[in-house]
Structure 1
Amino acid sequence: MPAAGPDPLTPHPVPGHPRVGFLKAFVRQANIEVGDFSYYDDPEGPEAFVERCVLHHYDFMGDRLVIGRFCAIATGVTFIMNGANHAMTGFSTYPFNIFGHGWEEGFDWATIQAGFKGDTVIGNDVWIGHEATIMPGVTVGDGAVVAAKSVVAADVPPYAIVGGNPAKVVRQRFADEVVAELLSIRWWDWEIDRITRNLDAIRGADLEALRNAA
C-alpha cells in the first residue's frame, strides 16, 4: 500500500532540514489563508514567515493574502500589502496623520483608500524565487514561476514565467491548449491519495497520463 503523503500541518516536513516548513503549521492570522503543502524555505527557519515576509498587513485595512496549495516560496520573498500605501491625492505623500499632535486633524481616510489594490492572491503550484517582491493586489496564476529578485506589480498569467523589475512574462511554460487543460484538471484539488497514486503523471509531462489519472 503506497504512503499517503505528508501531513500538511507538519512544521518541518523534511528530516534534517528545519529551514523548510509547511506554512499551515505557522500562520494563524485571520487575514492570511494558506493552502495545504505550501512551504517556505529560510535558513533562519520558517517560523517568522509572517513577520519577515508579509509587510504592512494591518487588520483595519481589510485586505487578505491568499496562498494556494503546493506553493514553493524561497528565502526572502516579500509580500507588500496595502498598508504600505501613502495618500497620493494631494501635493504631499507624507503621512502627517500617523504622528498625531494635531496633524491627525482633518485627515480623510478616503485619500488612503483611493490607493487600495485589493487582496493579494497566489494560485496553486506557484514557485516564487529568492527575494522576489509581490506588490499589493497582485494575482499570480496557477502554475506560474516568479524569478528571483523580481518585483511583481501586475497580475501573472497561469503557467507563465516572469522576471525583472517590473516583472514581465519571459515565456509561457506550456502551449495555450495545454494550460487550458491543466487549469481544467486542477490536480491540486484532488484527494491526497489520488495525488499520491499519480505523482508520475503530475511531475511528468505526459498530459494523456494526467487526463487518465484515477
Structure 2
Amino acid sequence: MQGLNFGSNMKEKNKEEYAIEVNNVSKSFRIPHEKRVTVYDNLVGCVTGKSYSYEAFEALKDVSFNVKKGETFGIIGRNGSGKSTMLKILANVLTPDNGYVITKNKIAPFLELGVGFQPELTAVENVYLYGAIMGLKRAEMDTKIDYIFEFSELEKFKDTKLKNFSSGMYARLAFSTAISTDPDILLIDEALSVGDEAFQKKCAEWIENIKNKGRTIVFVSHDLNSVKNLCSRCLLLNDGKVSCMADTETVIAAYRKIMNTSEDEIETAHVPSNDETDILHIEEPAGMIGIPEQTETAEPTEVKNCMQHIENLQAVKVNETTEISYDNLLSSNVHIGEYTYGNPQIFIWTDRYHVHIGKFCSIDDNVKILVDGDHRLDWVSTFPFGHIIPSIRKNIDHHKGKGDVIIGNDVFIGYGSIVHSGVKIGDGAVVGAGSVVTEDVDNYEVVTGNPAKHVKYRFSEESIEKLMRIKWWDWDIEKISENIELFESQDINSFISKFIKGSG
C-alpha cells in the first residue's frame, strides 16, 4: 500500500510542475463554398432552396503535450500545420472541438500585437484600454505608464493619436504595453521582430530576463535560429498532428527532413510568418542592408513547389563586424542593392523573370511585388490543375507574367502598395501608400492611386537630368557621410552645384 501511495504522490507532484497541459485537442473549421453576407443573400438562399455547402478543415488532430513551469517550449511546423491555432487555443481565443487545455496563473498572449488599439485614441488612452482588456485596474496601469513609454521610447508621443503613428512606433507601443502586464506564462507568435535593430535587441534581452526569472514561455516561430537559442524542448506539428516532440535539436532535424532540406542546404531554416500560401517572402532582418553587387548569391536552383515555402537562405558578409541573414533569395532571381530595407512579399512561381531592386530603397510594410503567377484567362479554365493536383502533369505555361520587375535606386514605395509584373520604377521615384502600379514610373516621378497615376515630379526636368548624371547612390558611404547635410536639406540647387561644375 505504501508503494501505491508513493506512486500516486509522485504523479501529483509531476502534475504540479506543469504550467500548461494539453490533452487530445482537436479543432476543425468550416470553409464555405459560397459567400453570403447580407440579409438579402440569405433570403434569396431560403427562397431558392439553396443550402450552404461547407468543406471541413481539420486544423488540429488529437494533439497532446505538457509544458513545465519555467520552461521555454517551442512549436514549429510548416504554414498551415496548426501552430497559430494551437496558440490561440492556449490563449483561450479559440475553443477546441475535442479535448481540453489546463493553464495555470496569468497568461499574456503576444499573438497579434496591438489587438484592441483604437486609431482615434491617443497612445496613453490606448495603453489604459489595453490594461482594461487584460483585466487590470486603472490604478495598476498608473504605475506602469512611465515604464511602457520609456521601454517603447515614445515618451514624446503619449498624447499623439495612434492613427498618426508609423508602423514601427505602433509595434513598439503594442509590445511594450503587452509586456507590462508581468505575466507568468507568455505565448509568443513571431513577436520578436518588432522595430529597428536596437529595439529588437532590447526585446530579446527582456525575453532572456523573463527566462531567468523562471517564467514559462511558449514560442511559435519559423525562425529556427531563434527557436534553437531560446527553447530547450520543442514540438513539431505537421498537418495538425504531433510529428515529433523532443529536445530542440532533434525536432529541428525532423522539421528539416519534412521540408526536404539538410544542414548543408540550409544554414538557417526560415519560412514566411504569415499564413498566406503561394507567396515567397523576403523578410527584413534586423537592420536590413541590401546585398552588395560584388557578393555572390546562391547557385540557381529549381523552384519545385512554392506551396512548401522551401527557402534558400544566404548569410552575406557586409563588413568585418556585421553579418546579415537573407532569406528566400530565389537563386539568382532576386537582386537587392546595398542599404535597401523593407519587407516586401514577392509572388514568384517560375525562374523566367527577375526582380531587381536598387540601392538605398525604402519599402514600407505590406508591399507586394507580382512577378508572375497570373492565371490564364484565355484558357478554358483558369485553375492550375498540375500545380495543385499531384496526379496531373504540370504545365509551365500556366504561370504568366509580363517581364522583369525593375525598381531603381533611392525609391520609396508606400505602405500596402502592389507592383505588377513587367513594371519599371525609375530612380528617385515615390509610390504613394496603397497604390497599384501597372505602368512604368519615370525617374523622380510621384504616383499614387489604383491604378497609380502621375501626381508630380519631385524636381524640375533640368534638376532631374543633373541628378541622373551625379548618380550619388554609386558613391561610397564615406562620401555620402561627408555630405549628409546636403542630402538632408531642401536645397537641391546647392547639392547639384557642388557636384556638377558650372551648375547654379
In structure 1, the partner of 2:387 is 98
In structure 2, the partner of 1:209 is 495
Q: Do residues 36 (structure 1) and 348 (structure 2) align?
A: no
The residue correspondences of 1:1-214 to structure 2 (distance < 5 A) are: 15-16=198-199, 21-24=287-290, 25-28=324-327, 29=329, 30=331, 31-40=333-342, 49=343, 53-55=345-347, 57-58=348-349, 60-82=350-372, 84-100=373-389, 103-104=392-393, 107=395, 109-110=396-397, 112=398, 115-204=400-489, 205-213=491-499
1:13/1:99 CA distance change after superposition, 3 Å? closer
1:174, distance to aligned residue in structure 2 (A)? 1.0
1:17/1:159 CA distance change after superposition, 3 Å? farther
**Aligned partners of 2:361 and 2:409 also within 8 Å:** yes
**Aligned partners of 1:201 and 1:207 also within 8 Å:** no
1:17/1:206 CA distance change after superposition, 3 Å? farther
1:197, distance to aligned residue in structure 2 (A)? 0.9
**Aligned partners of 1:77 and 1:131 also within 8 Å:** yes
**Aligned partners of 2:463 and 2:496 also within 8 Å:** no
1:99, distance to aligned residue in structure 2 (A)? 3.6
- Which moved further from structure 2: 92-101 or 178-187? 92-101
1:103, distance to aligned residue in structure 2 (A)? 4.8
Structure 1 gaps, min length 5 = 1-11, 41-48
AA matched with 1:96: F
Other structure's SS at 2:467 match: helix
**Aligned partners of 2:334 and 2:355 also within 8 Å:** yes
Deviations 1:45-92 (A, max 9, x none): xxxx46xx112x13x43211111111111111111121x212233343
AA matched with 2:198: P
**Aligned partners of 2:371 and 2:401 also within 8 Å:** no
CA distance in 2, matches of 1:202, 1:190: 13
CA distance in 2, matches of 1:210, 1:175: 12
Give the number of the structure with larger relative contact order, counting CA–CA contacts within 8 Å between residues 6 or more apart. 1
Other structure's SS at 2:335 match: strand
1:94, distance to aligned residue in structure 2 (A)? 2.5
AA matched with 1:74: D
CA distance in 1, matches of 2:437, 2:458: 18
1:95/1:188 CA distance change after superposition, 3 Å? same
1:199, distance to aligned residue in structure 2 (A)? 1.5
AA matched with 2:375: H
Give me the identity figure in percent.
32
Give 1 or 2: higher helix fraction: 2
- Which moved further from structure 2: 161-170 or 96-105? 96-105
CA distance in 2, matches of 1:154, 1:17: 37
AA matched with 1:39: Y
1:119/1:26 CA distance change after superposition, 3 Å? farther
AA matched with 2:364: A
TM-score scaled by length of structure 2: 0.34
CA distance in 2, matches of 1:63, 1:141: 19
Larger-gyration structure (1/2): 2
CA distance in 1, matches of 2:477, 2:390: 56
In structure 2, the partner of 1:45 is none
**Aligned partners of 1:187 and 1:202 also within 8 Å:** no
AA matched with 2:365: T
TM-score scaled by length of structure 1: 0.75
CA distance in 1, matches of 2:463, 2:457: 11
1:213/1:177 CA distance change after superposition, 3 Å? closer
In structure 2, the partner of 1:9 is none
Other structure's SS at 1:165 match: coil
AA matched with 2:358: G
CA distance in 2, matches of 1:119, 1:193: 32
CA distance in 1, matches of 2:289, 2:383: 35
Alignment size in residue pairs: 186
AA matched with 1:209: F
CA distance in 1, matches of 2:496, 2:484: 9
1:156, distance to aligned residue in structure 2 (A)? 0.8
Other structure's SS at 1:36 match: coil
